[in-house]
Amino acid sequence: MNRNIEDYIKPGARAHLVGVGGVSMAPLAEVLKGKGVDVTGSDMKESEAVDHLRSLGIPVVIGHLPESVEGAGCVIRTAAVHNDNPEIAAALAAGIPVFERAQAWGAIMRHYQNALCVAGTHGKTTTTSMCTHIFLAAGRDPSVMIGGTLPILGCGHRVGHGDTIIAESCEYCNSFLSFAPTVAVILNIEPDHLDFFKDLDDIKASFRRFAQLVPSTGSVIVNNDNPGARSIACGLDPFTFGLEEGAECTAANLTWERGLPTFDIVVHGEKYAHVSLRVGGIHNVSNALAAASAAYVLGVPGAAVEEGLDAFTGAGRRFERKGTFHGADVYDDYAHHPDELRALLTMARTLGYQRIICAFQPHTYTRTAALFDDFAEALKLADTAVLAPIYAARETDDLGMSSEKLAEKIPGAVSCGSLEEVTAQLADMAQPGDLILTVGAGDIYLAGEALVEKR
């Protein structure tokens, strides 16, 4: 039976959300409740997100109990919850329709005049966050869904009353194909998530289908500097941004001071905005151009771009300062792809530190194996690499892959058996003038936090 989720998330309907404490499930619960849906939820553990949902009158059960779905009109789940989950199994047995989180967000997007969806292998969270700052500065009162924490929001989401929703849009499991973008931003397309996609061509095909969801009255915004992004734009009449010649939105008069860029944003040869970023790296100049392009096509004045980007100091876990230890500065970053790692370490080199020590936690066995040589080359940009065990996430090790193997390819690298060992290693190395980075998409940030607390 082909069921339409729109029929199940109307005022008075009851929806049960499995994994409701997740970064894009918690805001979904809040948005659905605001639309008059009777929302219940479950999660594996207590959290701030769960406490917040309960404060809104949304009951949340800890643990996955079959009886939790009784009386629900539909069940909505995260991508990490499979059919063998007790709640999902009970729902399927009772004939209760089960929808994916992305399907629900897609249905919600259709109620907004503007759905600004930011996609790409990397840079999504930062660019979505930049867009959020700009649209807040413009007084557009946007709704927002980000896969991370943004300090100005105090969380990763916002329920606004304006005509625009801004959403980070992930390609994993083709989730973003359930979305309904009127503006699709494509930052870059590189090999990643190869536990799901067959190869780069398969990834490109998914991104092209995403871009084709945009109606003829909307805009597809593409990074002209990225071959992968350019390759899928044929016939879509994209609006382009980039640092190289030929883009419709570009940077002019770019200068750097203490690792931070100042530049004019120029659209079709005319100055649109003048910005000074509080985040470093040429990749963030590109992210700012992407956000400015989205603002431009949606009629946001350049002054709001200036104000919004001036207030942006980074998203949570994106070069986030944690503190100091023995005179060394400790920062954390979510980089978990070789291109992200290279961009982070290249930017760090411009900051004037005597040494850069990078504690890296590879994320998943499949990604580490598929991009092994690229990871090794990127990590050589640090003065010293300290490797934590691979963060398995949803996987088991069927490949015989390990951080020890990666360390063997990086001169002077140290491989540790636990996060506690990483913290001890960093404590032993730290000296004034060092930049210590904890890097990865898992729980490596705990090693840096433990180090700072040692003082």
What are phi and psi for residue 134, nearest 5 degrees?
Answer: -65, -45
Taking the C-alpha atoms of residue 309 and residue 93, their distance in angstroms, rounded to an integer, is: 50
List the catalytic residue out of 40, 78, 121, 125: 125
Taking the C-alpha atoms of residue 443 and residue 421, their distance in angstroms, rounded to an integer, is: 14
Task: Please state, as a whole number, how many other Cβ atoms lie within 10 Å of the Cβ of residue 380.
Answer: 16
Task: Identify whether 168 is a catalytic site residue.
Answer: yes
Amino acid of residue 229: A
List the catalytic residue out of 40, 124, 240, 438: 124
Taking the C-alpha atoms of residue 128 and residue 132, their distance in angstroms, rounded to an integer, is: 6
Task: Identify whether 67 is a catalytic site residue.
Answer: no
Taking the C-alpha atoms of residue 262 and residue 423, their distance in angstroms, rounded to an integer, is: 36
- Contact between 435 and 356 under an 8 Å Cβ cutoff? The reply is yes
- Contact between 73 and 13 under an 8 Å Cβ cutoff? The reply is yes
Length of the chain: 455
Residue 436 to residues 119, 132, 212, Cα–Cα distance (Å): 30, 29, 43
List the catalytic residue out of 168, 171, 248, 306: 168
Task: Identify whether 125 is a catalytic site residue.
Answer: yes
**Radius of gyration, CA atoms only, the chain:** 22
What are phi and psi for residue 452, nearest 5 degrees?
Answer: -60, -35
Residue 93 to residues 98, 230, 350, Cα–Cα distance (Å): 11, 46, 58
Determine the distance from the C-alpha atom of residue 14 to the mean position of all C-alpha atoms in its chain, rounded to a whole number: 29
Taking the C-alpha atoms of residue 9 and residue 12, their distance in angstroms, rounded to an integer, is: 8
Per-residue exposure over 206-221, b if at least 16 CB sit within 10 Å of its own CB, e if not: bbbebbebbeeebbbb
Rounded (10°) CA dihedral 186, 192, 194, 196:
-40
Number of H helices, E strands in the chain: 15, 21
Say if residue 84 is exposed, middle or buried (CB neighbours under 10 Å; 0-12, 13-18, 19+). exposed
What are phi and psi for residue 115, nearest 5 degrees?
Answer: -115, 100
Enzyme catalytic residues: 124-125, 168
